[in-house]
Chains A and B, each alone.
Chain A
Amino acid sequence: MLGFVLRRIAMAVPVILILIIFSFVLMRAAPGGPFTKERALPPVVLENINAKYGLDDPLLVQIGTYLKNIIFHFDFGPSFVYQDRTVNQIIADGFPVTLTYGFWAFVLAVLIGGALGIAAALKQNTWMDYLAVGFSIGAQALPNFIMAPILVLVFTLWLSWLPGGGWWGGPGDPNSYTSYLVMPVIALATSYLASIARLTRSSMLEVLNSNFIRTARAKGLPDRTIVLKHTLKPALIPVISYLGPAFVGMITGSVVVDMFLSTGGIGKDFVQAALNRDYSVIMGITILVGMLTILFNLLVDVLYAWIDPRIRY
C-alpha cells in the first residue's frame, strides 16, 4: 500500500512541474506584457519595471527562480497589477472562503445524491424511483451559472429571504453566516448531486441483481443486513471514482459563484486577473488549483484501492 501511494506521488510531481512550466512559457510567449497599456510607457520606465520584476533575465533563469520560490518558499511572487499585494496574499484572502462553501457543496452533493440514488434503487420502478431518475437527468442541465441567477431571483428578489450575495462580515452583520452560505452551496451542488444520484442508483441496481446478493437473500438474511453490509460497499466504488471530477467541477464552478454572488473567493481574483493580464496571479491560482486537484485525485485513488480489494497496487 505504501509503495502504491509513493508511486502515485512520484507520478504527480512531474504533472505539477509540467503544469508550472507550461503555464509559465505560455505567459511569457503572450504578445504584450502586463505593462503594455494603451498609453505606452517611456522605454526607460519599462526597462526599470522589467528589471524590478526580473522580466529582463533570460527565460530559463526566470523559470528557475519561479520554481525555486514555489518549491522552497511556496511563494508565487508579486502581483503585476496591484502594487501592494502579493499573489500569496490574494490567495490567503480568498481561498478560505472558496474552501468553505466548496466543502459544504461537496458534502451536500455526496450525501443527498448518494441517499437519493440508494433510495431510488431500493424502490425500483415506484413513483419515487421515477421522480429521482427524472430529477437526476433534468438537474444535469442546471449547472452553477444557471442555478446562481435563478436562486438570486427566487430567494432574494421575490422572497427576500437571503442576501443576494456577499460574504459574512463578522458578528455585526445583520444576516447570519448560514444565509450567505445557502446560495453558493446549492448553486454548486445541484448538477453534481444529480450525477451522483444517477451513478449510485445504477451501480446499486447492478449489485442488487448480482449472484452474491441472491445468495444472501436465499439464505434468509434480513434486508437491512443485505443492503448495509453487502450491497453498499461494492455499489459505492463507481461513485468514488466520480469524486475526482466532481471536485474539479466544484473548484471550477467557484469562479462563477465568486463572480455572480460576490462571495469573495479566489474565483473573482482569477477572472479579474485574466482580464487585467495579471500573469503572476493567473499562474499562481492555476498552479494551486492544479496541485489541489492532483492531491485530491491521489486521495481518491488511495480510497479506491483501499475499498476495492480487486485493485492491485
Chain B
Amino acid sequence: MTHVTNVETAEVVKGRSLWQDARVRFFRNKAAVASMIILILVSLFALFGGMLTPWSNEEIDWNLMGDVRTLGGPSFETKHYFGLDPLGRDLFARVVQGTQISLMIGIVGALISVVVGTLYGATAGFIGGRLDNIMMRIVDILMAIPYMFVLILLLVVFGRSIFMLFVGIGLISWLDMARIARGQTLSIKNKEFVEAAIATGVSTPKIIIRHIVPNLLGVVIVYATLLVPSMIMFESFISFLGLGVQEPLTSWGALINEGAGQMRYGTLWMLGFPLFFFLISLFAFFFFGDGLRDALDPKDR
C-alpha cells in the first residue's frame, strides 16, 4: 500500500533541474532582477538611441558653438537632450556612441577570456603533470607584469587604436579565467563520467571540449559577467588618460574625462550624463553578476 502511494507522489512532484533551481533563486534576488532590467534598457539605448536624435556624434552645432557654456545646456528646444560637449557636438549622440563602444569592449573582452581562458585552464588541468606546471607558470609570470603600463607602452609603439585596445585586453583578460577553469577542472577530472570517456577511448581534445568544458560553464558564466564591467573599467581607464579610443569616436572613459575637465566652468551636464550611464551600468553589472553567482554557485551564500 505504502509502496503505491510513494509512486503516486513521485509522479505528482515534478523534479526540478539545476538550471530551474538557479532561475528561481535568481528571480528571488530583487537587486539582481532590477539590474537585469537596467542592463536591458542601457543596451536598448546603445542600439536605438541614435534614432531619437537628429544630430550625429561628429556634427558641430555652429549656432551654439560659440557659447556652449551658457547656451549649450540640455534642452528640448534645440534637440540637444543632454546638451553639447565642449566643442559644440551633441552630447546625446556622443553618449549613445560611447555606450556602444564601452559595451562592445566589455563583451568582446569577456568573450575572449571565456574562450581562451577556459580552454587553456581546462587543458592544463586535465592533462596535468609537467605541461600543467609550465602552463600555469606562464600565467603566473604574465600576472606579475604591471599590464596597464605594458599596454600603454604597446599603444605608444603601435599607435593608439581600438584594435590595439582589443589586443591589449585579449592579452590579459584570460589569465584569471584560466586559473579558475583549471581549479574547477582538477575537481571534476576524476569523476566517473570522465573515467568512462577515457575507458571508451575518446581522444583527449574531445574529452576536454565535450565533457570537461560543459561542466565548467556555471562558474565560467558567473565569472564572465563580472569580467564585463572590469573590461569596461579597463578601457575607460585608458580612454580617461586620452590613450584609448580616438576622436571622433568616444567611450565612457573619454567622455567622463572631457566632462571632468570642464566642471570648473559649471557645465556639469558634460560630466553628469556620461557618469550617470557609467555608474548605473557598472552597478547593474556587479549586482547582476553577484545575483548570478548566488544562483548558480549556492555554496557561497
Residues of chain A whose beta carbon lies under 8 Å from any beta carbon of chain B = 12, 15, 18-19, 23, 26-27, 29-30, 137-138, 140-143, 145-146, 148-150, 152-153, 157, 164, 202, 248, 251-252, 255-256, 259-260, 270-271, 274-275, 277, 282-283, 285-286, 289-290, 293-294, 297
Query: Is B243 in contact with chain A by the CB < 8 A criterion?
Result: yes
The interface residues of chain B lying within 8 Å CB-to-CB of A146 are 256, 275, 278-279
User: In whole Å, how far is B37's beta carbon from the nearest beta carbon of chain A?
Assistant: 17
Classify the interface of chain A: helix, strand, loop or mixed. Answer: helix
Contacts of B243 in A (CB 8 A): 271, 274
Residue of chain A at shortest CB distance from B284: A141
Q: Is the CB of A26 within 8 A of B157?
A: yes
Contact B237 A256 (CB under 8 A): yes
Taking a contact as CB atoms under 8 Å apart, the answer to whether B157 and A30 are in contact is yes
Q: Do A293 and B153 form a contact, CB below 8 Å, given A143-B233, A153-B271?
A: no
Given contacts A146-B275, A251-B146, contact A23 B153 (CB under 8 A): yes
Most A CB atoms within 10 A — which of B153, B236, B259, B283?
B153
- B146 adjacent to A138 (CB under 8 Å): no
A26 lies within 8 A of B153 (CB) = yes
Tell me how many residue pairs across A and B have CB atoms closer than 8 Å: 110
- Residue contacts A-B, CB under 8 angstroms, 29 given: A18-B141, A19-B145, A27-B157, A30-B157, A138-B283, A138-B286, A141-B278, A145-B236, A145-B240, A145-B257, A149-B271, A152-B263, A153-B263, A153-B268, A153-B271, A202-B300, A248-B146, A252-B146, A252-B149, A256-B240, A270-B149, A274-B152, A274-B153, A282-B152, A285-B149, A286-B153, A289-B149, A290-B145, A294-B144
**Which positions 87-124 of chain B face chain A at CB distance < 8 Å?**
none
> How many residues of B are counted as interface, with CB atoms below 8 angstroms from the partner's CB atoms?
41
Contacts of A145 in B (CB 8 A): 236-237, 240, 253, 256-257
Q: Which of B154, B263, B286 meets A140, CB within 8 Å?
A: B286
* Complex-state Cα separation, A58 to B300, whole angstroms: 57
Q: Are A260 and B149 in contact (CB under 8 A)?
A: no
